[in-house]
Chains A and B, each alone.
Chain A
Amino acid sequence: GESVGLHLPTLSVQEGDNSIINCAYSNSASDYFIWYKQESGKGPQFIIDIRSNMDKRQGQRVTVLLNKTVKHLSLQIAATQPGDSAVYFCAEAQKLVFGQGTRLTINP
């Protein structure tokens, strides 16, 4: 069946550094992906999305890269701040499949 997974369950970065969170998917027909941020005790919050007709999309301090050849996408957060501490999920939106999540911790 389809799966969306993440390479690392945890990621620690220094405040001010850039963070890169990776995600792999299995269904080559997947064409729409969303990154979510979930803080403790809260619901997932939309960060950015990307469709398969693009390989890069930028938002405020975030960039999503999509590599369809290897079925991989990444979320890059620039100048990571303490408020970025959360669990980050990628989701294949057409089939409503979420990855396991990467917990991002910011070191002062």
Chain B
Amino acid sequence: NAGVMQNPRHLVRRRGQEARLRCSPVKGHSHVYWYRQLPEEGLKFMVYLQKENIIDESGMPKERFSAEFPKEGPSILRIQQVVRGDSAAYFCASSPREKEGYTFGSGTRLTVV
């Protein structure tokens, strides 16, 4: 009865590289949400996806960031050409229904050097 699984737990990238963060939702959950958290700050909503569809990406930067949740496999948050300001903890949550019953993963801590 696994919860939300995120990997890797820690990711180090050099400026200009790509970062791929993976999120496997709770079994049976078809709604996935990504959040970013800077040190000593709250969680900022980035994107909400349902299987194969982006429902709300209002919190996603317009450039370099993309997210997908394919029919099979985990949800992926992709950051291209990373910059130091992308260093943060990225959390994924899933839910069985829209916007309720959220379960969070343990996060991926991205460090850009």
Contact = CB atoms under 8 A, between A and B. Distances in A.
A100 B100 contact: no
B102 A34 contact: yes
How many B residues touch the partner, as a band?
A: 20 to 34
A91 B33 CA distance: 14
B104 to A, nearest CB: 4
Interface residues of A, number: 19
A46 B94 CA distance: 12
A89 B105 CA distance: 16
Interface stretch (B12-20, B36-44, B61-69, B80-88): B36-44
Contacts, number: 43
A97 interface: yes
A98 B43 contact: yes
A45 B45 contact: no
B43 A93 contact: no
A44 B104 contact: yes
B42 A42 contact: no
Given A45-B104, A96-B45, A96-B56, 16 more contacts: A32-B100, A34-B102, A41-B106, A43-B4, A43-B105, A44-B43, A44-B93, A46-B102, A46-B103, A91-B43, A93-B99, A94-B99, A96-B48, A98-B35, A98-B42, A98-B43
Interface of B: 4, 33, 35, 41-45, 48, 56, 91, 93, 99-100, 102-107
Interface of A: 32, 34, 36, 41-46, 89, 91, 93-94, 96-101
Contacts of B102: 34, 46, 93
Contacts of A91: 43
Contacts of B105: 43
Contacts of A94: 99
